[in-house]
């Protein structure tokens, strides 16, 4: 079930121009780069896309731009989450109008909302379109952690078809795969993709995929063909790179790498800090390894 949702889904970065505006030309280039690398879908406007630092209009622009180049060639999941329900609904409607395959939302954050409030938020967004909904479980983002019990409750809404699990708690990931109804479960931390797949994930959604799609696809394919040793070796190769990204700032590092590959990505948005010159020098050294399939 849910065949088109399985596999390797890039959490798309958002390219900005020097004046800070969304760089729509680079979105097209970035989509092509990912497709050429073998990714099968895009998760648009999530954490990686710096969506919480963008206006609603900008988020819509990105969603539309991705659909324009990728529709019919990739599975499209539009992240519509924000703590303002009406804003999330307006984004969900854009996703539906643009032909997205699903919407997704992080749980509303900051006020420490109760589980019933959070369930209401999802149900209301999901009722606003015909699209299926994928829960974005990201406990580090400000609080709420879906447990298997909460997830089971959420499944009473038939439009909820999956969970993106951005957490190192892979026991919970495994439990999500064994609720009363089958759902798609995604591994959210790229540095443990093999572990997530081993515990039952149907695929992964990640930011580092933008930079090294071929390596991620190779890990995924090795795992699917039963080559566990090969997949683990690939994970280690990938993690040598991710460790440097984490040290210097993940999104800033990824954007810099893509800049160096000829896709202008611009800076990360404040309050994220730009890369230091030392960080750039470190990343320059890594470039030959990153571009190698």
Read out DSSP for 68-86?
Answer: HHHBTTBEEEEE---S-HH
Nearest distance in Å: CB 180, ligand MN9: 27
Would you count residue 106 as binding ligand MN9 (CB under 6 A)? no
8/65 with CB nearer ligand MN9: 8
Q: Which of 189, 220, 223, 256 is close enough to bind ligand MN9 by CB under 6 A?
A: 189
- Work out which of 78, 108, 206, 266 binds ligand MN9, going by CB under 6 A: 206
Least distance (Å) from ligand MN9 to the CB of residue 136?
A: 9
- Closest approach, Cβ 140 to ligand MN9, in A, equals 7
Rounded to whole angstroms, the Cα distance separating 165 from 173 reads: 7
* 111 is a catalytic site residue: no
Task: Please indicate whether residue 177 is annotated as part of the active site.
Answer: no
DSSP E strand boundaries for 112-189: 133-137, 160-165, 184-187
Indicate if the alpha-carbon torsion angle 141, 144, 150, 156 is positive or negative: negative
> Sign of the C-alpha dihedral, residues 85, 90, 94, 97?
positive
Given 100, 121, 136, 220, the catalytic residue: 136
What is the nearest approach in angstroms of ligand MN9 to the Cβ of residue 241?
Answer: 10
Q: Which distant-in-sequence residues (6+ apart) come within 8 Å of 199 by Cβ?
A: 170, 171, 173, 174, 177
How many residues sit in the footprint of ligand MN9 (CB under 6 A)? Answer: 16
User: Binders of ligand MN9 among 2-21, rule CB under 6 A?
Assistant: 11
Site residues (CB under 6 A) for ligand MN9, limited to 153-172 = 166
Contact at 8 Å (CB) between 187 and 196?
A: yes
**236 has binding-site annotation:** no
Build a one-symbol-per-residue string for 20-59: x at contacts with ligand MN9 by CB under 6 A, - elsewhere.
--------------------------xxx-----------
Cβ proximity to ligand MN9: between 95 and 193 the closer is 193
205 is in an annotated binding site: yes
Q: Give the nearest distance from C-beta 292 to ligand MN9 in angstroms.
A: 20
Identify the three-state secondary structure at position 8.
strand
Task: Evaluate whether 25 touches 61 at the Cβ level (below 8 Å).
Answer: no
With binding defined as CB under 6 A, does residue 250 bind ligand MN9? yes
Kindly state the smallest distance separating residue 156's Cβ from ligand MN9, in Å: 27
Indicate the residue among 128 and 135 with the shorter CB distance to ligand MN9.
135
Burial state string for 80-100 with b = 16 or more CB within 10 A and e = fewer than 16: bbbbebeebbbbbbbbeebeb
What separation in angstroms does the CA of 16 have from each of 13, 23, 45, 269, 284? 10, 5, 13, 8, 21
Q: Per CB under 6 A, does 107 bind ligand MN9?
A: no
What residues have CB less than 8 Å from 54, skipping those under 6 apart?
14, 22, 45, 62, 269
Q: What backbone phi and psi angles, to 5 degrees, belong to 11?
A: -80, 105
Residues lying near ligand MN9 in the complex (CB under 6 A): 11, 46-48, 166, 188-191, 205-208, 242, 246, 250
Residues annotated catalytic, as ranges: 136, 164
For the annotated binding site, the residues are 48, 205
Binding residues for pyruvate: 48, 205
């Amino acid at each position: 079930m849910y065949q088109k949702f399985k596999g390797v889904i890039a959490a798309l970065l958002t390219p900005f121009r020097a004046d800070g505006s969304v760089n729509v030309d680079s979105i097209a280039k970035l989509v092509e780069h990912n497709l050429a690398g073998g990714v099968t879908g895009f998760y648009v406007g999530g954490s990686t896309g710096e969506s919480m630092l963008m206006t609603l209009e900008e988020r819509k622009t990105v969603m539309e731009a991705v659909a324009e180049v990728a529709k019919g060639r990739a599975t499209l999941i539009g992240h519509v989450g924000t703590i303002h329900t009406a804003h999330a609904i307006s984004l969900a409607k854009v996703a539906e109008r643009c032909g997205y395959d699903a919407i997704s939302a992080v749980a509303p954050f900051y006020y420490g909302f109760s589980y019933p409030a959070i369930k209401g938020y999802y149900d209301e967004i999901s009722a606003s379109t015909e699209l299926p909904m994928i829960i974005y479980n990201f406990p580090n983002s400000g609080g709420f952690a879906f447990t298997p019990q909460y997830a089971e409750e959420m499944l009473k809404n038939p439009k909820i078809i999956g969970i993106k699990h951005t957490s190192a708690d892979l026991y919970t990931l495994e439990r999500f795969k064994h609720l009363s109804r089958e759902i798609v479960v995604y591994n959210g931390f790229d540095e443990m993709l093999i572990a997530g797949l081993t515990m039952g994930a149907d695929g992964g959604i990640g930011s580092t995929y933008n930079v090294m799609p071929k390596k991620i696809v190779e890990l995924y394919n090795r795992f699917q063909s039963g080559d566990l040793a090969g997949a683990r070796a690939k994970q280690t190769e990938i993690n040598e790179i991710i460790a440097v990204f984490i040290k210097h700032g993940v999104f800033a590092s990824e954007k810099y790498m893509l800049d160096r590959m000829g896709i202008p990505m611009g800076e990360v948005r404040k309050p994220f800090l730009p890369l230091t010159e030392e960080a750039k020098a470190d990343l320059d050294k890594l470039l030959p390894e990153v571009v190698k399939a």
